């Protein structure tokens, strides 16, 4: 485990300058979780130190604007999870106002099939959410419980079964225009599987 991690870290810092950011973050996690093993902490420290002299070359990265944009994109997304207990892993998704677009990746982390425990994420103005849900139920399974061509729907994922995932990307200017809600429109899920999207 330990040598593997060091290998990955070195490979990252050798290949991509961005790798430095990944390396400076990653060792702190194993070190914290395996704090009882001094060896793990010691192992990560030299790796860290070794990466710092290389960081002098990060002035190159500063000149490269696309690199900075890529790291910003890390904050313009959220990993939403739905499970077999009919819940999402959050009730609120916070979108940084500085993002032009925001991606929600929905993962069904359960094992149940789509027909029994289907999850999607549908984003709509909060004032429209109940109508969107009602029309989605009428549309039925064939439409993934979203009315075809529903203009009130800002974005929707596919309906997922256990182990599947899908992403949507939202225009943040539209999210700013009105309060928005994310919801699973599978029958019976829209009560517990619902939350607010707030732009801050």
Q: Is the dihedral of CA 148, 153, 154, 157 positive or negative?
A: negative
What is the longest distance spanned by two Cα atoms in the chain?
A: 62
Cβ partners under 8 Å of residue 63, min gap 6: none
- 119 scored as a contact of Co ion (CB under 5 A): yes
Binding segment (CB under 5 A) for Co ion, from list 12-20, 25-33, 134-142, 191-199? 191-199
Cβ proximity to Co ion: between 12 and 184 the closer is 184
Cβ proximity to Co ion: between 5 and 194 the closer is 194
Q: How far is the CB of 87 from Co ion (least distance, A)?
A: 9
Cβ proximity to Co ion: between 119 and 158 the closer is 119
CA angle (180 as vertex; 79, 109 as ends), nearest 5: 25
Cβ proximity to Co ion: between 182 and 186 the closer is 186
- 182 scored as a contact of Co ion (CB under 5 A): no
Q: How far is the CB of 161 from Co ion (least distance, A)?
A: 10
User: With 0-12 CB in 10 A as exposed, 13-18 as middle and 19+ as buried, what is 93?
Assistant: buried
Binding segment (CB under 5 A) for Co ion, from list 27-35, 60-68, 88-96, 176-184? 176-184
- 184 scored as a contact of Co ion (CB under 5 A): yes
- 186 scored as a contact of Co ion (CB under 5 A): yes
CA angle (183 as vertex; 182, 185 as ends), nearest 5: 150
Residues touching Co ion, count (CB under 5 A)? 5
Cβ proximity to Co ion: between 20 and 117 the closer is 117
Alpha-carbon distance of 168 to 143, in angstroms, equals: 17
The answer to whether residues 126 and 179 touch, using CB atoms and an 8 Å cutoff, is yes
Cβ proximity to Co ion: between 99 and 122 the closer is 122
Report the run of H or E that residue 98 belongs to, with start and end: none
Q: How far is the CB of 40 from Co ion (least distance, A)?
A: 39
Alpha helix segments (H runs only) across 36-140: 38-54, 58-63, 65-73, 114-117, 129-139
- 189 scored as a contact of Co ion (CB under 5 A): yes
Chain residues that interact with Co ion, rule: CB under 5 A: 119, 184, 186, 189, 193
């Amino acid at each position: 485990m330990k040598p593997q991690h060091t290998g990955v870290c070195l490979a990252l810092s050798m290949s991509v300058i961005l790798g430095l950011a990944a390396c400076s973050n990653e060792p702190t996690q194993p070190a914290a979780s395996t704090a009882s093993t001094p060896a793990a902490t010691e192992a990560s420290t030299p790796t860290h130190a070794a990466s710092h002299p290389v960081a002098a070359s990060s002035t190159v990265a500063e000149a490269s604007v696309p690199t900075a944009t890529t790291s910003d994109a890390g904050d313009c997304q959220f990993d939403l999870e739905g499970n077999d207990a009919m819940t999402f892993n959050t009730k609120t998704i916070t979108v940084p106002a500085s993002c032009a677009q925001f991606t929600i990746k929905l993962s069904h982390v359960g094992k149940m099939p789509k027909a029994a425990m289907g999850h999607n994420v549908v984003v709509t103005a909060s004032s429209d959410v109940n109508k969107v849900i009602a029309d989605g139920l009428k549309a039925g399974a064939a439409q993934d419980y979203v009315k075809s061509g529903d203009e009130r729907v800002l974005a929707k994922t596919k309906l997922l079964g256990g182990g599947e995932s899908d992403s949507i990307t939202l225009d943040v200017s539209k999210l700013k225009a009105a309060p928005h809600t994310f919801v699973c429109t599978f029958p019976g899920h829209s009560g517990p599987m619902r939350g607010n999207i707030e732009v801050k």
